[in-house]
Structures are given as structure tokens and as C-alpha cells.
């Protein structure tokens, strides 16, 4: 563990001040499941942890009817998937929150942390992008909102400026006829980093796909919103043919790398497979069918 200090923020403004005073090596400490490992293994220089888990804003979880969902940036996964309203209205978020790490990791890890760690393979990010979520950022210059899809700018890099932190994530309310699904591929059945992950969101008008979003993770420097996949789906009923066209679009759009966790060929192929599977499940959910996130 590198030499570092710990400070507990007493308010969002206090957190902003602590971050600003701490300089570029100050980091927000939410669940800590990434940053504590980075500090211990010295893969990222950190001199100060600013703990934001004692603030109502960062620990929020509100899903007012019709007004969307607000997830505090530090709200741990277990609270997210344990919430009946979230489970009903935002099942793809539950899909992700319930498979990040094991149970003990989910006791701490947060979607805000997942976003800010900005790993291309983050499991929490594709569902947020597919749902059109927005990160609410506060900093020395006040508050700003950045769409989840624009948040990460590269592996480990994001739009946060000096002294800025994500306070919460806002997710629009589901519209009638919509269905969402997130899946990842890992070699084991738990405790792995995604080789590829995909979130899909569909909105039907009758049998016709009125809106579609397919987001592929771990297959490009940041999670990738595959516009061509959406184009292949919108305006038609969802069929195995349109699904295959969307999957082919996902395969064509990804820019994966070869690393110890997966090969280019494997990732490209899996992007197609998971696109198909998430679309089928999303359609089921749109029809009101039960698709379980986990046992």
C-alpha cells in the first residue's frame, strides 16, 4: 500500500474542497474495490482517499414513479439489486449490479465507482449507456451533467476535471413497451472480468421496434454504442434475421484487443452472440416475461 491519507467528506462541498486541495493524486473512495487495490499494488498514484459514503447525495437510491431513478454514486450494488422498484423497472441495472464481483464485493462496489474507474470492461457501464443515463458531476465550477456514453474517454480515463466528482447517476424512467438486458461472458461463472459484455435496450410499439440501443463493452477503448445495430432493428419487428443483422453490426463495429482475458477473434464473435442474447431477453422483458438476473 502506497503512503496515503484518508479523509471523510462531511458534505459534497467538503468533498470538492478535499479533492481540489489534494491535487491530482487525490481519489474519491466509494466502495474502494478498485482504488484500494490500485493503491496497494501501486498501479495508480494515490495520496489521498476522500470517502464519500457518508453523504445523502452519494448514497441515494430513489425511483419516483415516472421521474426516473437516481442512484447515488457510492450506493453499493447490493442496495441497488435489493430494491424492488429498481428490479422491476431497471432490470438491466440489476443484471449488472448482481454480477460485479462476488457477494462481498457487491457489499461495497458502486456504479459511480465503476463509471469513474473507466475500465473498458466495466459491467456497470453498458446498461447505463443503453438506458440513456446521465452522470451528475459536481466540482469547483459547480454542477454539470454528462451522458454516461460520453463519460469515459479511454481506458482509465474520463471527463472528470480537477476537483470534480460524480455525485449521482440519473436514469430516465422506462417507457411503456420497453425491455432491457445486460449479459457478459466470462470463463468462470463468477469472479471474472468480462471478456465482452453487452447491454441492449428495446422499445416496442406494437410488434415493431421503435427504439433500440446496443452497447458493447470490453471490445473497444470505451464501451461502444453500436448505432448500426440500432438501425438494423428500428422500424421492424424483432426477428432472428434482424437480430443477426444487429449482431453482425456489433461484430463489425467492435475494435477489440488481444490480451490475457480474450482474443480479438473471440471478442468479436462474443459481441455478436451477446448482442443476440440480450436482444431476445430484452424483448421478453418488454413483453412482461420473467428473465431472472441471477439465482
Residues that bind another protein (CB under 8 A): 1-6, 8, 29, 31-33, 36-37, 40-41, 49, 51, 53, 76, 78, 101-105, 107-108, 185, 187-193, 195, 251, 259-263, 265-266, 268-270, 273, 294-295
When the beta carbons of 115 and 193 are compared against another protein, the nearer one is 193
Distance between CA atoms of residues 20 and 30, nearest Å:
17
Q: State in angstroms the smallest separation of the CB of 204 from another protein.
A: 25
Burial label, 31 (beta-carbon count in 10 A; 0-12, 13-18, 19+):
buried
The dihedral sign for the CA sequence 137, 27, 10, 133: positive
Closest distance of CB 242 from another protein, Å: 18
Residue 266 burial (10 A CB sphere; 0-12, 13-18, 19+) = middle
Instruction: State how beta strands 48-51 and 196-205 pair.
Output: unpaired
Q: Which is nearer to another protein, 32 or 112 (CB)?
A: 32
Question: Least distance from C-beta 161 to another protein, angstroms?
Answer: 25
- Residue closer to another protein by CB (options 45, 205) is 45
For residue 193, the minimal CB distance to another protein (Å) is 7
Judged by beta carbon, residue 25 or residue 153, the one nearer another protein is 25
To another protein, the closest distance from the beta carbon of 229 in angstroms equals: 17
Nearer to another protein, 51 or 170 (CB): 51
Amino acid at each position: 500500500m502506497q503512503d496515503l491519507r484518508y479523509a471523510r467528506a462531511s458534505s459534497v462541498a467538503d468533498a470538492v474542497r478535499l479533492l481540489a486541495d489534494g491535487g491530482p493524486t487525490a481519489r474519491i473512495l466509494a466502495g474502494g474495490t478498485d482504488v484500494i487495490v490500485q493503491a496497494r499494488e501501486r498501479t495508480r498514484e494515490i495520496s489521498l482517499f476522500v470517502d464519500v459514503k457518508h453523504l445523502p447525495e452519494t448514497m441515494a437510491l430513489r425511483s419516483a414513479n415516472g421521474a426516473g431513478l437516481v442512484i447515488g454514486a457510492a450506493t453499493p450494488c447490493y442496495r441497488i439489486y435489493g430494491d424492488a422498484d429498481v428490479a422491476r423497472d431497471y432490470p438491466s441495472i440489476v443484471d449488472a449490479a448482481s454480477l460485479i464481483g462476488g457477494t462481498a464485493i457487491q457489499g461495497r462496489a458502486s456504479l459511480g465507482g465503476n463509471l469513474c474507474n473507466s475500465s473498458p470492461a466495466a459491467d456497470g457501464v453498458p446498461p447505463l449507456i443503453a438506458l440513456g443515463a446521465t452522470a451528475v458531476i459536481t466540482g469547483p465550477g459547480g454542477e454539470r451533467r454528462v451522458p454516461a456514453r460520453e463519460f469515459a474517454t479511454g481506458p482509465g480515463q474520463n471527463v472528470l476535471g480537477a476537483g470534480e466528482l460524480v455525485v449521482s447517476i440519473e436514469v430516465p424512467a422506462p417507457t411503456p413497451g420497453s425491455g432491457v438486458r445486460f449479459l457478459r461472458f466470462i470463463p468462470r461463472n463468477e469472479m471474472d472480468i468480462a471478456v465482452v459484455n453487452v447491454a441492449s435496450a428495446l422499445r416496442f410499439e406494437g410488434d415493431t421496434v421503435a427504439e433500440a440501443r446496443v452497447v458493447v463493452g470490453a471490445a473497444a477503448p470505451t464501451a461502444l454504442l453500436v448505432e448500426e445495430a440500432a438501425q438494423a432493428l428500428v422500424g421492424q419487428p424483432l426477428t432472428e434475421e434482424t437480430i443477426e443483422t444487429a449482431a453482425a453490426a456489433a461484430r463489425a463495429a467492435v475494435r477489440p484487443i488481444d490480451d490475457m482475458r480474450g482474443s480479438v477473434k473471440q471478442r468479436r464473435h462474443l459481441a455478436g452472440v451477446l448482442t443476440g442474447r440480450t436482444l431476445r431477453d430484452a424483448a421478453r422483458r418488454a413483453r412482461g416475461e420473467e428473465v431472472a438476473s441471477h439465482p
